[in-house]
Structure 1
Amino acid sequence: MDNGMREKLLDREGSEEGDLKVRVYNESKKIWKVALPGIIARVAAFGTIIVTQSFIGHISSVDLAGYALVQTLTVRFVNGILIGMSSATETLCGQAYGAKQYHMMGLYLQRSWIVDILALTLLLPLFLFGGPLFKLLGEDPSIVGSAGYISWWFIPMVYNFVFTLTMQMFLQSQQRNSIVAWISIAQFAMHVPLSWLFVIYLEWGVDGAMAALCISSWFVAFAEFGYIMGGWCPDTWTGLSSAAFKDLFPVIKLSISSGIMVCLELWYNSILVLLAGYMSNAEVAISAFSICLNINGWEFMICLGFLGAACVRIANELGRGDSKATKFSIKVLITTSVVIGVFFTSLCLAFGRNIGYFFTNDVEVANAVSDLSHLLSISVLLNSIYPVLSGVAVGAGLQGTVAIINLCCFYLIGVPIGALLGYVANLEVKGIWIGMILGIFTQSLALSYMAWKTDWDKQVRLASERLQRWYLKSSEEQNGNGHA
């Protein structure tokens, strides 16, 4: 090879490398534009739940266990259904935005409100009869009394999920979710002093902690209502419409498959907490396990930011009809999320032995949290992989496939192994957590294989067919004043 040819080859390789750097940079900007506000919003919102747990934990260990039982079992159960069903909004709005069907996004949002309100109302007995249900499940009687009372307090709080979850996905799909981040920061900034005022200064105890949680949660809902309906989304929000009641069945069908997908994931942790409730020292086991799950959950909120970014990027590109951009986005998303996961895993390993004291003064509980710190760090690392792949599935509308994967990995592998290690091998909470890790690991492998084998050209066609099938003409088109 002569010098001239070698120079041309090196120039071409340098150009391709430079082009790749530009593509990665541009894709990263798009990802972070969605992910960063989503991360801030989720960390702040979940932080209010953590703060409430911390205040209740310093009231009494029984109330801490009762709160942990309700928040980790009932609320997670219901929240799982609502997050899952609301992800239909994410799929439809994301693809509609990519296809420039802007006026349809407001209709999809309203349809999700209708479906989610009906679903949550059907689930109310779980809160109304929380005490008897926990008693029926054989939980410790002292914990059951506190859990039953706290269940009632969660009723006004959970209804905000119907609106905040769907509105955040609506705004996120059109990359307007920076307002959600600011609202969530304001929520957290308000929640901490409000909790101190009610619990410490006014000495209202558990009532004060839960009242502060309800007030700060609904603050977010009303603020998002004001933003959307106040004229800041002129193309995508055209007002309330009776057309929202049309084509509800397909939305319900997609919402149910979405709900099953997320629920199987979130209920997994709930079942493991339930298993912890049957340990010899149930109060310590539930409290320690719940604290670790909440730490894991708080970090998971960062990963959910990437889940949201994955959903938006995949849905937008499929709506535009670009399968190559879809595959490139998946690669950049996973790489970025794993790097962040490694960073937080290192923090867990460095500070895991002392983190329990943030939530409780009980030395026994804090030591139990310390014993779980290494398993917590492994879970944090796995958090950086599977949420992104789940987001890819939501963006493509593949929730049904992921639901089957979650069922097999979590309930045929994770839960049985966790129960065997916890009770038969006498590893107790550690055994349960090891089972949880194995379930998540197999799920991550399965989702990776699914993303690799998916025919993205076919998904582009399917997205186009779905959007055309549910399309309704805007008022301008009906009056003959619009354009194609």
Structure 2
Amino acid sequence: MSIIEERLITKLETEDGSLSGRVWMESKKIWRIAFPAILARVALFGVVMVTQAFVGHIGALELSAFAVVQTILVRFACGITLGMSSATETLCGQAFGAGQYHMMGIYLQRSWIVSSSVTTILLPAFIFAAQIFKLLGQVDEIAEEAGTISLWFIPVLYTTLFSSTMQMYLQAQLKNFVIIWLTVASFAIHVLLSWILVYLLNYGIPGAMIAMNISFLLLVIGEFVYIFGGWCPDTWRGFTKAAFSDIFPVIKLSISSGVMICLELWYNSVLVLLAGYMKSAVIAIATFSICLNITTWELMIGLGFLVTASVRISNELGRGNTKAAKFSIKVILCTGTCLGVVFSVVCLLCSYQIAYVFTSSEEVAKSVSSLSIPLAFSVLLNSIQPILSGVAIGAGLQSVVAYVNIGCYYVVGVPIGALLGYVAHLEVKGIWIGMICGVATQALTLLLMTWRTDWEKQVTRASERLNRWLLKAPDQESN
């Protein structure tokens, strides 16, 4: 179905009628975006999860080192680069809603320029990871092992950068199912490669990391082939010098987006660092990382709804339809909350069994089981909070959310976690409760902000931004 047909169908859909009919129509729009986005993110994060599972069965030290790199360094770098590239989601979504299709390819190229430059600047952190972790006070044996593993993550930074921006570009124009096929295929290949390299060939850590790099690379190649091969004729007109024009306003919006996302991702990294200072650091980090991975895997569903909220809100703001935007927010929030309740009950009942997916240690499994109640609360919040962040991204309110994240996470969450973990001697459970307090405060703040937002004003801002950066399409220039 072409983009023009999509817009004709949208125009033919009226908003009058029964409430149930309107909810049904909106739900169909939501799940058309959400299902591919969720499945793609579950499969994509599954690549990292499978790698960690293989590493965890090699040894507790290796698992802790991998967890430190993934939750601190990788989140630090991806928090910046992926956060900055989320500006692509805002701009492409609003451009699609406004019918400025040729600008979407230009916005994509601008995001590549900005994000790849920042990624290159961050490489020394991965090269000197062992020294950095030692300076941060981590145990020497964990720091040394983490320094080796961090080098294997350097190719992942670039493949993740290009993959995520292309997914945002494709999702903004509702080309979702190609992402499903590519990510699921990448995940299946990764499982097979990991089994061959780690178990059959006994390559250990190098085998697990090689498998992960190959899987991410194949995904990026597939996305490049789809975009460059002519399957996006309305939005991709080839490489152009126009990508370098108006680059500084894009950088400004990208920085706001980067601060918003990275402060959120760094929050968990700070808590992992706090866990590393405890007496049984290896057990504490392993426990915290397993719980974090459980919630993060469920968070992939929340991120699918984040994408959905961002696309729906940005599309409707681009069209100037504030009534549809507000109704979409209500339906997405109700849907996400219902799913969150279901998954939180599963985590409450099965946390002990889930832990054995990542470890063979009875001590670690028991430690994870002791966190079942805080884990269930985290899962519920992870189903609500991303939707509210997606609304902010769709409206271009990233800079406001950045200030919210600073206050909720670092003024509320981290101090409470430190007090409960060290002063009250609740260990990992205390740190996790602090994390819940920070996320809950953020969710309530974003909910209040969404309710009080002047959506007519956001339509005006979106229109002004798109018109200010609008360039003529090549066929318009020739005419």
TM over 0.5: yes
Matches within 5 A, 1:260-299: 260-299=259-298
Matches within 5 A, 1:128-147: 128-147=127-146
Tell me how far 1:18 sits from its aligned partner.
5.7
How big is each residue's C-alpha offset from its partner over 1:235-264, in whole Å with a ceiling of 9 and x where there is no partner?
000001111011100110000000000011
Matched letter for residue 332 of structure 2: L
Matched letter for residue 226 of structure 1: V
Matched letter for residue 282 of structure 1: A
Tell me, yes or no, if structure 1 residue 108 matches structure 2 residue 107: yes
**Alignment partner, residue 250 of structure 2:** 251
Asked if structure 2 preserves the Cα contact closer than 8 Å seen for 1:318 and 1:396, the reply is yes
Q: Distance in 1 between matches of 2:18 and 2:181?
A: 35
Q: Distance in 2 between matches of 1:354 and 1:479?
A: 64
How big is each residue's C-alpha offset from its partner over 1:7-41, in whole Å with a ceiling of 9 and x where there is no partner?
xxxxxxxxx99621111111111111111101001
Q: Distance in 2 between matches of 1:285 and 1:175?
A: 42
How big is each residue's C-alpha offset from its partner over 1:82-116, in whole Å with a ceiling of 9 and x where there is no partner?
22111100000000000000000000000000000
Q: Distance in 1 between matches of 2:16 and 2:173?
A: 31
Structure 2 unmatched ranges of 5 or more = 1-14
**Alignment partner, residue 176 of structure 2:** 177
How big is each residue's C-alpha offset from its partner over 1:198-244, in whole Å with a ceiling of 9 and x where there is no partner?
00001100000000000001111000000011000000000011110
Q: Distance in 2 between matches of 1:338 and 1:445?
A: 14
- Partner SS for 1:352: helix
Q: Distance in 1 between matches of 2:124 and 2:328?
A: 42
Matches within 5 A, 1:25-424: 25-424=24-423
- Partner SS for 2:356: helix
Which deviates further from its counterpart, 364-373 or 454-463?
364-373
Asked if structure 2 preserves the Cα contact closer than 8 Å seen for 1:82 and 1:161, the reply is no
- Let me know the Cα RMSD of the aligned residues: 1.0
Tell me how far 1:384 sits from its aligned partner.
1.2
Matched letter for residue 95 of structure 1: Q
Matched letter for residue 189 of structure 1: A
How big is each residue's C-alpha offset from its partner over 1:45-85, in whole Å with a ceiling of 9 and x where there is no partner?
10111100010111111111000000011011111112211
**Alignment partner, residue 3 of structure 1:** none
Matched letter for residue 208 of structure 2: A
How big is each residue's C-alpha offset from its partner over 1:350-402, in whole Å with a ceiling of 9 and x where there is no partner?
21122111111111111111111211110000011110000000000000000
Q: Distance in 2 between matches of 1:357 and 1:416?
A: 31
Q: Distance in 1 between matches of 2:318 and 2:42?
A: 29
Structure 1 unmatched ranges of 5 or more = 1-15
**Alignment partner, residue 4 of structure 1:** none
Q: Distance in 1 between matches of 2:352 and 2:63?
A: 20
Query: What percentage of aligned pairs have identical amino acids?
Result: 60
Tell me how far 1:162 sits from its aligned partner.
1.6
- Partner SS for 2:352: coil
Q: Distance in 1 between matches of 2:79 and 2:300?
A: 14
Q: After the TM superposition, which parts of structure 1 deviate over 2 Å for at least 4 consecutive aligned residues?
A: none
Matched letter for residue 62 of structure 1: L
Matched letter for residue 376 of structure 2: S
Matched letter for residue 219 of structure 1: L
**Alignment partner, residue 5 of structure 1:** none
- Partner SS for 1:358: coil
How big is each residue's C-alpha offset from its partner over 1:277-296, in whole Å with a ceiling of 9 and x where there is no partner?
00000000000100100010
**Alignment partner, residue 11 of structure 2:** none
Q: Distance in 2 between matches of 1:80 and 1:26?
A: 35
- Partner SS for 2:328: helix
Q: Distance in 1 between matches of 2:26 and 2:121?
A: 42
**Alignment partner, residue 10 of structure 1:** none
Of structures 1 and 2, the larger Rg is shown by 1
| Matched pairs, number | 465
How big is each residue's C-alpha offset from its partner over 1:127-152, in whole Å with a ceiling of 9 and x where there is no partner?
00000000111101111111000000
Tell me how far 1:182 sits from its aligned partner.
1.0
Q: Distance in 1 between matches of 2:477 and 2:117?
A: 31
**Alignment partner, residue 7 of structure 1:** none
Q: Distance in 2 between matches of 1:57 and 1:384?
A: 27
Asked if structure 2 preserves the Cα contact closer than 8 Å seen for 1:410 and 1:439, the reply is yes
Asked if structure 2 preserves the Cα contact closer than 8 Å seen for 1:355 and 1:370, the reply is no
Asked if structure 2 preserves the Cα contact closer than 8 Å seen for 1:48 and 1:191, the reply is yes
Asked if structure 2 preserves the Cα contact closer than 8 Å seen for 1:76 and 1:270, the reply is yes
- Partner SS for 1:119: helix
Q: Distance in 2 between matches of 1:86 and 1:339?
A: 30
Asked if structure 2 preserves the Cα contact closer than 8 Å seen for 1:91 and 1:394, the reply is yes
TM-score (norm. length: structure 1) = 0.95
Asked if structure 2 preserves the Cα contact closer than 8 Å seen for 1:95 and 1:318, the reply is yes
Asked if structure 2 preserves the Cα contact closer than 8 Å seen for 1:86 and 1:255, the reply is yes
Matched letter for residue 352 of structure 2: R
How big is each residue's C-alpha offset from its partner over 1:143-199, in whole Å with a ceiling of 9 and x where there is no partner?
111100000010111110121010000000000021111111001111101001000
Q: Distance in 2 between matches of 1:108 and 1:117?
A: 14
Matched letter for residue 142 of structure 2: I
- Partner SS for 1:307: helix
Q: Distance in 2 between matches of 1:274 and 1:50?
A: 20
Q: Distance in 1 between matches of 2:379 and 2:57?
A: 26
Asked if structure 2 preserves the Cα contact closer than 8 Å seen for 1:27 and 1:329, the reply is yes
TM-score (norm. length: structure 2) = 0.96
Tell me how far 1:118 sits from its aligned partner.
0.4
Q: Distance in 2 between matches of 1:147 and 1:81?
A: 21
Tell me how far 1:346 sits from its aligned partner.
1.1
Tell me how far 1:445 sits from its aligned partner.
0.6
Matched letter for residue 359 of structure 2: T
Tell me how far 1:479 sits from its aligned partner.
1.6
**Alignment partner, residue 8 of structure 2:** none
